[in-house]
């Protein structure tokens, strides 16, 4: 059996290696369009490669995927994050789970993952062809015929696994549209919010450990650390929101409002009661000198200015309207977003091959029985924290069974 793996990235290598373990007699060839193999793995996680997330529940793991959650939840029973950790450790790549559950190689170097893949493909005699882009697939009695751009030649295989990764432009997927696959419009996910008109940028570097962010008029909400940057807002809460709202934000050309609850308390009465208590317990303190909820000092001064309350006012003189103003700014602080910035270049694609094209029990195409899919080319993507690689490993692992094991 001759099997082609199209794409020499994370999903392609993982599929090729597992395929060879499932079907030792198969002749496996990886086609990579560029000169470099595994280039995203190399730069991933700031050069350290956040291979997966260490959460111990499959339900929690699946929640990290704005697209593909339902399908992945089932697939994780076949190959989970725990299986992934075992897979690497049993192949000589010790891993470490950080306090935030991100998992890295102990070496803290993505090259360790690349070396593992390259030495295993060599051991299994998997052929690797770089600078060979597949520009079209045709069929000969349902067998895929790959048309190679650089050599203007074609080769017939028994089966092919397509793992060509995310592409933020539809043109990158036209060759698959030609063989009738339907696409969900590819657009970027995982970005930070630009706020060119907002003075909050002056507070760059401030982190609020547990904020709640919402997009008014939608159901979009996320919580977690929020970082103020010199262009606007970033941090896990914002990145999560960007992933879950990727399509909504794209539709409004990245112009929208974001509401920040700086104390992540949804019940306004609780916040108002806390402020009232402060006014009773610290009556002679100036507003600027006593910060509720230990809000970072510069942020507190900024918020006070935004309410219009004098910084020198005493807590005892704040009155009901003052409490209302402070409660409002702490719980419903509004900012205008105008544009996005890619987070540490670590974008992923929202969209790709539509999920109804795929049988998620096998990762086999519903249109052409000898084609399988794996990785970010699918309309599947996750938030930051090792989830995107986990989706690549899981889909590749299942595709590598070729529907048989």
Ligand X SMILES: Cc1cc2nc3c(=O)[nH]c(=O)nc-3n(C[C@H](O)[C@H](O)[C@H](O)COP(=O)(O)OP(=O)(O)OC[C@H]3O[C@@H](n4cnc5c(N)ncnc54)[C@H](O)[C@@H]3O)c2cc1C
Question: Interface with ligand X includes 176 (CB under 6 A)?
Answer: no
**Which residue among 388, 393, 394, 399 contacts ligand X (CB under 6 A)?**
388
Tokens of 340: 């996005």
Per rule CB under 6 A, is residue 80 in the interface with ligand X?
no
Which range binds ligand X by CB under 6 A, 137-145, 242-250, 291-299, 383-391?
383-391
Q: Which is nearer to ligand X, 48 or 332 (CB)?
A: 48
Please select the residue that binds ligand X; options are 133, 179, 206, 248, rule is CB under 6 A: 133
DSSP 199-265: GGGGGTT-EEEEEEEE-TTSS-EEEEEEEE-SSEEESHHHHHHHHHTHHHHHHTTTEEEEEEETT--
Select from 76, 79, 387, 393 the one that contacts ligand X (CB under 6 A).
Answer: 387
d(CA 335, CA 107): 41
CA distance linking residue 308 with residue 154, whole number of Å: 71
Q: Where are the beta strands (DSSP E) in 51-172?
A: 52-53, 95-97, 102-105, 127-129, 134-140, 143-148, 153-156, 159-162
Instruction: Name the residue with tokens 């295989």.
Output: 157
> Which of 392, 398, 400, 402 is in the footprint of ligand X by CB under 6 A?
392
* 12 contacts ligand X (rule: CB under 6 A): yes
202: Cα separation from own chain's centroid = 28
The one among 4, 6, 331, 400 contacting ligand X by CB under 6 A: 6
Which candidate, 50, 99, 387, 48, places its Cα nearest to that of 243? Answer: 387
Say whether residue 370 binds ligand X (CB under 6 A): no
144 strand-pairing partners: 139
Specify the stretch interacting with ligand X by CB under 6 A; choose among 44-52, 65-73, 119-127, 151-159. Answer: 44-52
Name which of 302 and 393 has its Cβ closer to ligand X.
393
Crossing angle between the packed helical segments 10-22 and 387-399, to the nearest 10 degrees? 30
**228 touching ligand X, by CB under 6 A:** no
Of these, 1, 21, 34, 334, which contacts ligand X (CB under 6 A)?
34
134 interacts with ligand X by CB under 6 A: yes
Check residue 9 for interaction with ligand X (CB under 6 A): yes
Q: Specify the residue, 28 or 318, whose C-beta has the smaller distance to ligand X.
A: 28
Residue 380 found at the interface with ligand X (CB under 6 A): no
33 binds ligand X (CB under 6 A): yes
55 is a contact residue toward ligand X (CB under 6 A): no
Q: What are the beta bridge partners of residue 212?
A: 223, 261
Q: Measured from the CB of residue 396, what is the shortest distance to ligand X in angstroms?
A: 8
d(CA 387, CA 400): 20
Pairing of strands 153-156, 143-148: antiparallel
Is residue 28 a contact residue for ligand X (CB under 6 A)?
Answer: no
162 belongs to the binding site for ligand X (CB under 6 A): no
345 binds ligand X (CB under 6 A): yes
CA angle 172, 176, 182 (to 5 degrees): 100
Nearer Cβ to ligand X (12/235): 12
Strands 159-162 and 2-6: what pairing?
parallel
User: From residue 159, how far is each of 78, 133, 257, 392 by CA, in Å?
Assistant: 22, 17, 48, 19
375 binds ligand X (CB under 6 A): yes
The residue ranges that bind ligand X (CB under 6 A) are 6-12, 31-34, 39-40, 43-45, 49-50, 133-134, 163-165, 345-348, 375-377, 386-389, 392
């Amino acid at each position: 059996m001759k099997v082609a793996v199209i794409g020499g990235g994370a999903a392609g290598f993982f599929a090729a290696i597992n395929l060879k373990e499932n079907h030792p007699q198969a002749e496996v060839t990886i086609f990579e369009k560029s000169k470099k193999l595994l280039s995203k793995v190399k730069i991933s996680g700031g050069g350290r490669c956040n291979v997966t997330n260490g959460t111990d529940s499959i339900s929690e793991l699946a929640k990290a995927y704005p697209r593909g959650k339902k399908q992945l939840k089932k697939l994780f029973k076949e190959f989970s994050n725990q299986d992934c950790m075992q897979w690497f450790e049993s192949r000589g790549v010790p891993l470490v789970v950080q306090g935030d559950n991100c998992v890295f190689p102990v070496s803290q170097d993505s090259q360790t993952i690349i070396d593992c893949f390259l030495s295993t493909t060599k051991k299994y005699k998997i052929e690797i062809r770089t600078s060979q882009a597949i520009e079209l697939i045709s069929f000969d009695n349902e067998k895929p015929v790959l048309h190679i751009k650089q050599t203007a030649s074609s080769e017939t295989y028994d089966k092919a696994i397509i793992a060509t990764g995310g592409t933020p432009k539809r043109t990158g997927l036209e060759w698959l549209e030609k063989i009738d696959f339907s696409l969900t419009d590819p657009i970027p996910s995982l970005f930070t919010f630009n706020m060119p008109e907002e003075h909050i940028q002056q507070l760059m570097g401030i982190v609020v450990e547990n904020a709640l962010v919402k997009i008014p008029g939608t159901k979009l909400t996320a919580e977690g650390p929020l970082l103020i940057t010199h262009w606007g807002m970033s941090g896990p809460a914002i990145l999560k929101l960007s992933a879950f709202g990727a399509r909504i934000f794209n539709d409004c050309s990245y112009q929208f409002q974001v509401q920040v609850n700086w104390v992540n308390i949804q019940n306004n009465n609780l916040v108002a009661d806390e402020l009232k208590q402060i006014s009773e317990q610290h009556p002679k303190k100036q507003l600027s000198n006593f910060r509720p909820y230990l809000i970072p000092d510069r942020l507190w001064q900024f918020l006070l200015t935004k309410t219009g309350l004098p910084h020198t006012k005493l807590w005892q003189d704040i009155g009901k309207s003052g409490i209302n103003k402070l409660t409002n700014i702490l719980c419903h602080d509004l900012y205008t977003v105008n544009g996005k910035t890619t987070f540490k270049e670590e974008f992923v694609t929202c969209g790709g091959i539509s999920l109804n094209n795929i049988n998620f029990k096998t990762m086999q195409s519903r249109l052409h029985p000898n084609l399988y899919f794996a990785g970010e080319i699918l309309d599947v993507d996750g938030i930051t924290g090792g989830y995107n690689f986990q989706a690549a490993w899981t889909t590749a692992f299942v595709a590598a069974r070729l529907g048989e094991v």
